[in-house]
Amino acid sequence: MSEAQNARANAYCPYSGFAVGAALLTESGQIYTGCNVENGSYSLGLCAERTAFVKAISDGCRKFKAIAICGGDASDPNPQKPCTPCGACRQVMAEFCDDDFEIILSDRNYPLGELLPDAFRLK
């Protein structure tokens, strides 16, 4: 979670004021971080979770163990409320992770299958 909080400090969120950080743990133990990056054309913004996944995937990683996510008002340096991933991020996770992939939030850990039951998968 501390890596997610560090990544959150780099969020670019002038439109929502809601900063999010994510830290993705690979099976090999490497951590990839991401933050949200907003855009004036709202649909072009990137979530912290997908940013972390894209960084890892572009480095050749395909096996993941867990992701820690934190988010909240950009003026709060240490938000304590859970920040669940959006549906698009959950679907990206399902592309590369099994239902037991661990999603770590401030209140507890969730398996991906609980947050996205019956995910669309080609496998």
Closest among 86, 85, 92, 87 to 121, alpha carbons compared: 92
Q: What is the mean pLDDT of residues 80-91?
A: 95
Residues 8-30 have pLDDT tens digits of: 999 999 999 999 999 999 999 99
- Against a cut of 0.75, is the pTM above it? yes
Residues 33-82 have pLDDT tens digits of: 999 999 999 999 999 999 999 999 999 999 999 999 999 999 999 898 99
38 as an active site residue: the answer is no
Domains and CATH numbers, the chain: 2-115 (3.40.140.10)
Closest among 60, 44, 56, 52 to 23, alpha carbons compared: 52
- Given 27, 49, 102, 114, the catalytic residue: 49
